[in-house]
């Protein structure tokens, strides 16, 4: 049988194309429309569904806890609005302790939910990675077959077909296979993009988990502080209303006396103060930390979470410190006094140039003598604050209460101190 040259060339070209597509059709058929279960372990879908169900369960529990917390918050506000009494303050503390317990449970539940979401994302990533690996293997096989088809001649193509009609019947199928291959490549691209999105979501969840861990640690410390505060209140008042009233009266007297005494002492020590602590004399009022702040600040100046804020503002900062930690003078000055009060426990005050005074409270013991000059950094006492210990006063646990007073008025100590990282 003879063929015209143009027909032969056309048939050879189509035949060559057909053979290339035919050789890869098996691969394309596998990759053209991957199902949801392709490359995924049989249990992966069930595992993801189970994890998501557990996440929803945790989220429902979080909502329940938020409702309970809100109810206790309302109770506390109502009790704080009542007339001041020891019975009422104990009730407030009891409700605050329960609320803190619920806060801790809520954070733990949120943390568990985040970890479950993270586990679900890990499974999803594993599934997507497995699928991509399979598609990469199929793509490699496709390329190998295409390269192998380069060695097949048009004559061999024609000889392999029973008739030209069979040959041309496959042209439309080849076009479909081309579309299938294009669709598959698009799905590969989409799968890669989805994988990147899932990986970013995983990274965000991991950061959220770390943030929740830090928040949980702070809430646990706050919970211990609430319990310690109640223990301190019991120690100072013996649960007697008369002792509680005396403690409040003494506190107000101490605060007013401190302001008056500072003015008197500044006048008395005016000449001496002018000659000490060169930095403060220049007007540079930057102070040193009296104890290492690395363990964190447990209560801020005018802290909204201070247990007795509805009675009086927190006039300083509380720096976490183990019992017996050396307490150092924040700047050079004169030791005004060593005293004991119901709120502050053992406390000492230093007078500095520039109408500045510093107060160090809840001390285990005094090491500075009144009416003597101490250098910046000199050890003036040891920290205390453990509830029930002599000199602990009304305390939330082992720490140093530190105040700065400008012209006798409490000011935020952190504006006078070097910055510190409080992420511990």
The one-digit pLDDT tens for each residue of the chain (424 residues) are: 443 343 333 444 444 444 344 333 443 333 333 444 444 445 788 888 898 899 999 999 999 999 999 998 898 888 888 878 888 888 888 998 999 999 999 999 999 999 999 998 888 888 888 888 887 777 777 666 655 555 555 555 556 656 556 655 555 665 665 666 667 677 778 878 888 888 888 888 889 899 998 889 888 888 888 888 888 888 888 888 888 888 878 777 776 666 667 767 766 776 666 666 565 655 555 899 999 999 889 889 998 888 777 777 889 999 999 999 999 999 988 998 899 888 889 999 999 887 889 999 999 999 999 989 999 999 999 999 998 888 898 888 999 999 999 888 899 999 999 876 555 4
> Which structure tokens are listed for 61?
């529990």
**What values do phi and psi take at 311, rounded to 5?**
-100, -40
pLDDT at 173: 60
Specify the residue for token string 């081309």. 178
C-alpha dist (Å) from residue 417 to 216, 279, 319? 27, 14, 13
Give the long-range contacts of residues 256-260, CB within 8 A, separation 24 or more: 258/349, 258/357, 258/359, 258/405, 258/408, 259/405, 259/408, 259/409, 260/408
pLDDT at 10: 41
**What values do phi and psi take at 217, rounded to 5?**
-60, -45
- Separation between Cα atoms, residue 62 and residue 46, nearest integer Å: 24
pLDDT at 27: 38
- Separation between Cα atoms, residue 237 and residue 251, nearest integer Å: 13
Q: Is domain 242-415 given the CATH code 3.30.420.40 in the classification?
A: no
C-alpha dist (Å) from residue 150 to 19, 136, 156, 172? 10, 22, 12, 22
241 close to 86: Cβ distance less than 8 angstroms: yes
Q: Which of 109, 113, 127, 133 is nearest to 198 (CA)?
A: 127
Q: Which of 280, 254, 284, 253 is nearest to 266 (CA)?
A: 280
**For the chain, which residues make up each domain, given as ranges?**
5-236, 242-415
pTM of full prediction above 0.75: no
pLDDT at 380: 97
Please state, as a whole number, how many other Cβ atoms lie within 10 Å of the Cβ of residue 24. 21
- Separation between Cα atoms, residue 379 and residue 327, nearest integer Å: 5
Please state, as a whole number, how many other Cβ atoms lie within 10 Å of the Cβ of residue 299. 21
Q: Which of 240, 382, 233 is nearest to 322 (CA)?
A: 382
């Amino acid at each position: 049988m003879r063929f015209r040259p143009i027909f032969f060339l056309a048939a050879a070209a189509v035949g060559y194309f057909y053979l290339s597509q035919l050789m890869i059709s098996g691969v394309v058929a596998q990759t053209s429309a991957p199902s949801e279960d392709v490359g995924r372990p049989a249990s992966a879908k069930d595992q993801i569904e189970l994890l998501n169900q557990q996440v929803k369960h945790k989220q429902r529990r979080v909502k329940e806890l938020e409702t309970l917390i809100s109810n206790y918050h309302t109770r506390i506000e109502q009790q704080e609005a009542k007339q001041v009494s020891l019975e009422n303050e104990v009730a407030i503390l009891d409700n605050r302790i329960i609320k803190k317990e619920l806060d801790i449970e809520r954070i733990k539940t949120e943390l568990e939910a985040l970890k479950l979401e993270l586990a679900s994302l890990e499974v999803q990533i594993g599934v997507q990675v497995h699928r991509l690996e399979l598609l990469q293997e199929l793509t490699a096989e496709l390329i190998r077959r295409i390269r192998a088809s380069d060695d097949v001649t048009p004559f061999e193509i024609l000889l392999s077909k029973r008739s030209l009609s069979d040959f041309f019947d496959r042209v439309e199928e080849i076009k479909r296979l081309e579309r299938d291959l294009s669709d598959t490549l698009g799905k590969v691209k989409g799968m890669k993009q989805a994988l990147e999105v899932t990986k970013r979501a995983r990274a965000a969840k991991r950061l959220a988990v770390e943030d929740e861990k830090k928040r949980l640690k702070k809430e646990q410390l706050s919970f211990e502080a609430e319990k310690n505060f109640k223990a301190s209140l019991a120690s100072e008042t013996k649960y007697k209303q008369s002792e509680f009233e005396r403690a409040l009266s003494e506190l107000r007297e101490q605060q007013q006396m401190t302001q008056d005494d500072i003015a008197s002492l500044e006048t008395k020590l005016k000449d001496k103060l002018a000659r000490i602590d060169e930095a403060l004399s220049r007007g540079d009022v930057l102070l040193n930390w009296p104890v290492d702040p690395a363990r964190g600040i447990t209560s801020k100046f005018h802290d909204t979470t201070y247990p007795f804020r509805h009675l009086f503002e927190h006039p300083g900062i509380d720096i976490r410190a183990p019992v017996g930690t050396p307490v150092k003078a924040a700047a050079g000055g004169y030791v005004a006094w060593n005293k004991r009060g119901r709120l502050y426990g053992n406390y000492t005050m230093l007078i500095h140039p520039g109408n500045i005074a510093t107060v160090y409270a809840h001390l285990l013991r005094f090491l500075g003598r009144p009416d003597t000059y101490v250098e910046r950094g000199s050890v003036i006492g040891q920290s205390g604050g453990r509830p029930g210990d002599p000199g602990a006063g009304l305390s939330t646990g082992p720490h140093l209460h530190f105040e700065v007073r400008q012209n006798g008025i409490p000011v935020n100590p952190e504006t006078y101190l070097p910055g510190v990282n409080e992420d511990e």
